[in-house]
Structure 1
């Protein structure tokens, strides 16, 4: 059985981030140094490791009191459907349980996953973007 270790250190090697982000086809993986800075500047990050391999992570941008916005949640395809994503979400929801508002933007194909984790689809709300990234 595979042992997955979870960590809260926010210092990552750029190559590890690049490999993880590109494994799921996210264009942000083309900017590994920027991802490195983004993780360091996040309010918190929980990562999943199989040995020395980064296999998943979730980060939060937060004011630490009222709102937590979960920006990235990704699990390497070789490790999906093993409960890693759910554990990352559970750890973040526990950390930000005192925040009145916990927000994320999900791709349509992933809505069911997030609903199983306790999120609900907002009504009367539309996410708005100004971005150059596609994923």
Structure 2
């Protein structure tokens, strides 16, 4: 179980330029509502995490995957993705919305970019 009290959202979300880091109270609630939260630590410092939600049998959605910039390109994000894909290996589909600069990373984790679909949003967030 992820213990949110150990983390200030500014410590993980803002360094990766995610606007959701400006909404600490909402993030605390969101973290408690995810079915799956896996965190990566360097001793007592939270350096990355992945959050996923699912429908219980067919489809899982990876939502958050922030890794502190100084810990990127060390395999942490990929290990987190592999842990989630292992948890949901019996599901028919695992979905992630990857922005253009993230597509290569997710492809290296086994995801394929949809040829006939794209993400749609109604949002006030700017990232």
Same fold (TM over 0.5): yes
2:123 alignment partner in structure 1 = 131
Contact 2:7/2:46 (CA < 8 Å) preserved in 1? Answer: no
- Alignment of structure 1 residues 1-135 onto 2, 5 Å: 9-13=1-5, 15-135=7-127
**Cα 1:41–1:116 shift into 2, 3 Å:** same
Contact 2:9/2:22 (CA < 8 Å) preserved in 1? Answer: no
Contact 2:40/2:47 (CA < 8 Å) preserved in 1? Answer: yes
Q: Deviations over 1:5-29 (max 9, x none)?
A: xxxx222127433310011111100
Partner of 1:75, secondary structure, is coil
Partner of 1:118, secondary structure, is coil
The CA RMSD over aligned residues, in Å, is: 1.2
Counterpart CA distance in 2 for 1:14 and 1:106 is 27
Contact 1:20/1:55 (CA < 8 Å) preserved in 2? Answer: yes
In the superposition, the TM-score normalised over structure 2's length comes to: 0.95
Partner of 1:87, secondary structure, is helix
**Cα 1:40–1:118 shift into 2, 3 Å:** same
Counterpart CA distance in 2 for 1:26 and 1:120 is 24
Contact 1:14/1:36 (CA < 8 Å) preserved in 2? Answer: no
Contact 1:18/1:31 (CA < 8 Å) preserved in 2? Answer: no
Q: Deviations over 1:85-105 (max 9, x none)?
A: 010000000000011010010
